[in-house]
Structure 1
Amino acid sequence: MGIKKQITMGVMSAALGIVLIGGGTYAYFSDTETTNNTFAAGTLDLAAEPLEIINVNNIKPGDSVLRSFELQNNGTLDIDKVLLNTDYTVTDAKGDNMEDFGEHIVVEFLYNADKLDEVIYKTTLAELKSMTPEAVGESVFYPLLGEKGLPVGTIDDLVVQINFEENGEDQNQFQGDALNLEWTFTATQTAGEQK
């Protein structure tokens, strides 16, 4: 046998050996089992009722407006914190405003309508607008809701009193002006836990 035949036979023998070894790895008992798993995310659903909390006309310095509204947890997860972002725009009727109308509107967050002397937090709209939502949450909602937050299916009543502050100075620049207030409530989830 020539050298070429010997090399070819050696290569073919090696290839056959590899095929037999590779094929032999599947020659043992085996069994499989497939599981079906589900991960369903919960929902955060914070609602405010009514959506229009304050709509009042013809206010003057010294007037106050008392309104109540509800925060509802309609989701499937407990709400840990409620945050509040304040924004407003002023329509200057005569174009003569030297000051921000929001600096003259004082907001008092109250525990409930029966205890008007129990103020949770008091500030002007201008100050409220400049605060972070987290700071407002800590100042207003944490004292009201406490560590329990807003559990699933619960409703908490909030009461606000809005005062057009009478400061004893000339406030004629605000005659005919309008302030459009937008409050955005944000709910955050509770901390994750072992399930």
Structure 2
Amino acid sequence: MNIKKQVTMGIMSAALGIMLIVGGTFAFFSDSVTSNNTFAAGTLELGIDKPQLINIKNIKPGDSMIRDFELQNNGTLDIQKVVLETDYKVIDANGNNTEDFGDHILVEFLYNVNNFDEVIFKTTLAELKNMSPEAINKNIFYPELGDEGLPAGETHDFIVKFVFIENGKDQNQFQGDALELEWTFTAYQKDGEPK
């Protein structure tokens, strides 16, 4: 046998040996099992029973109006805190306002229906509009909801009193004016926890 044939046979023998070694590594027992898992996120859904809290005409300085509303947790997750964003637009009927009508509307958040004189917090609409969300939660919602917040599936009643402040001065600039108030309630979840 010549050298060329011997080298070729050697290479082929080595290749065959390698294939047997590689192929042989799969010759063992095995078993497998599959685990099917699910991560389903909960829902955070804040509701209110009255989309329009107040719609009143012909108010005058000294008038007061009490309204109640219910915040609802319609989701599956507990609500830790609620914040309120206030915005309003003044319709200046005669174009003569030198003051903000919102400075003349007092808002009092009350404890409950039976105790209208027990005020949680009071401020003007103008001040409420400029408050931070944390200050609103601390002064308005936390005294009512506490550390528990609003658990899933539960509701909480709130009472609010609006007063057109009688300041003993000339308030004629507000005759015929209107104030369109928009309140946006935002709910935040509780902190995550081990499950």
TM tier relative to shorter chain: over 0.9
Task: Determine the C-alpha separation between the residues in 1 that align with 2:81 and 2:27.
Answer: 60
Q: Is the 8 A contact 1:84 1:134 kept in 2?
A: no
Task: Determine the C-alpha separation between the residues in 2 that align with 1:32 and 1:64.
Answer: 74
Q: Which amino acid aligns with 2:90?
A: V
Partner of 1:92: 92
Partner of 1:34: 34
Specify whether residues 12 and 130 from structure 1 end up closer, same or farther in structure 2 by C-alpha distance, changes over 3 A only: farther
- Shift in Å, 1:2: 5.3
Partner of 1:189: 189
Q: Which amino acid aligns with 2:193?
A: E
1:65 aligns with 2:65: yes
- Shift in Å, 1:169: 1.4
Q: Using the aligned pairs only, state the percent identity.
A: 67
Specify whether residues 94 and 14 from structure 1 end up closer, same or farther in structure 2 by C-alpha distance, changes over 3 A only: farther
Deviations 1:99-128 (A, max 9, x none): 111111110000012111211110111111
Partner of 2:149: 149
Partner of 1:138: 138
Q: How many aligned residue pairs are there? A: 195
Specify whether residues 136 and 4 from structure 1 end up closer, same or farther in structure 2 by C-alpha distance, changes over 3 A only: farther
Q: Which amino acid aligns with 2:162?
A: I
Structure 2 unaligned blocks of 5 or more: none
Task: Determine the C-alpha separation between the residues in 2 that align with 1:39 and 1:187.
Answer: 23
Specify whether residues 9 and 87 from structure 1 end up closer, same or farther in structure 2 by C-alpha distance, changes over 3 A only: farther
Structure 1 unaligned blocks of 5 or more: none
Partner of 1:77: 77
Question: Is 37-46 or 27-36 further displaced after alignment?
Answer: 37-46
